[in-house]
Amino acid sequence: MRDLKERSFNEWLVIESQRGKKDAFNTLIKNWEQRYFLYALNRLKSREAAKDVTQESLISISKGLRKLDDPVTYPKWSFRIVERRCMDWLRKTIREREFIQTQEVLPEIPVRDGIEDKLTVEQLLSKMDSRLASILRLYYLEALTIQEIAEVTNVPSGTVKSRLFYARKMMTKLLEIDHE
């Protein structure tokens, strides 16, 4: 999350939602649904799968919200649910080995008639390995700490740091390709 005001508002929404306030819950979901979708899209590389996973995640979040002890941990807690739903989807549809192999091949960025294509952050993330893109998203766009990302993705914090390093390198390469 981007600033203290947004964090405080989010915590208040969580507390009010836990107390059964439907308007607060609807606002909370409205504020986070797009973030979950973009995270799932980067992880799964499929709009339809990302929509399904987002919906499943929102159901799990709504069912488990009352059990959340500390409203401050909502971002980490909720992204962990989304990550688990992504992994469930991957296990159901593709063998793990095939998924990793297909994700390691980066698609070329098309250049049309010598005109430079300007890539948005979302376009860049979509061209990256989903594991790297998800870590960049959580670190830079959602402002989670390395430890929180480790808990969300269920990998050691050293692995998160390593993936963050490689993700930055890959982002730089994609930007260089775009500007050639």
Query: What is the reported pLDDT for 123?
Result: 79
Cα–Cα distance, 177 to 180 (Å, whole number): 5
Mean pLDDT across the stretch 102-113?
A: 45
**CATH of residue 66:** 1.20.140.160
Report d(CA 33, CA 55) in Å as an integer.
9
Q: What is the pLDDT of residue 94?
A: 57
Give the chain's domain count.
1
Sign of CA dihedral 15, 17, 18, 21: positive
What confidence category does residue 170 fall into, taking pLDDT thresholds of 50, 70 and 90? confident
**Residue that wins the pLDDT comparison between 133 and 100:** 133
Amino acid identity for residue 174 in this structure:
L
Instruction: Give the pLDDT of residue 121.
Output: 76
Residue 109 has pLDDT above 50, yes or no: no
Collapse the DSSP code of 115 into the 3-class scheme (helix H, G, I; strand E, B; otherwise coil) and give the result.
strand
Determine the pLDDT at residue 111.
Answer: 44
Range of the domain at 119: 4-179
pLDDT for 30: 95
Summarised one tens digit per residue, pLDDT across range 9-53 is: 999 999 999 999 999 999 999 999 999 999 999 999 889 999 999
Query: Is the pLDDT reported for residue 166 higher than 70?
Result: yes
Query: Which tokens sit at 168?
Result: 């930055």
User: Global pTM?
Assistant: 0.68
Which residues, in sequence order, are CB contacts of 22 under 8 Å at separation 6+? none
- List the single range of 2-11, 45-54, 88-97 with lowest mean pLDDT: 88-97
How many degrees, rounded to 5, is the angle at CA 57 between CA 91 and CA 150?
70
Distances (CA, A) of 69 to 18, 22, 84, 131, 141: 10, 19, 20, 28, 24
Give residue 122's pLDDT.
77
What element of type H or E holds 51? helix 47-64
Which has more pLDDT, 53 or 94? Answer: 53
The model's pLDDT over 115-164, given as tens digits with 9 standing for 90+, comes to 344 457 777 788 888 888 888 888 888 889 999 999 998 889 999 998 88
**pLDDT reported for residue 49:** 92
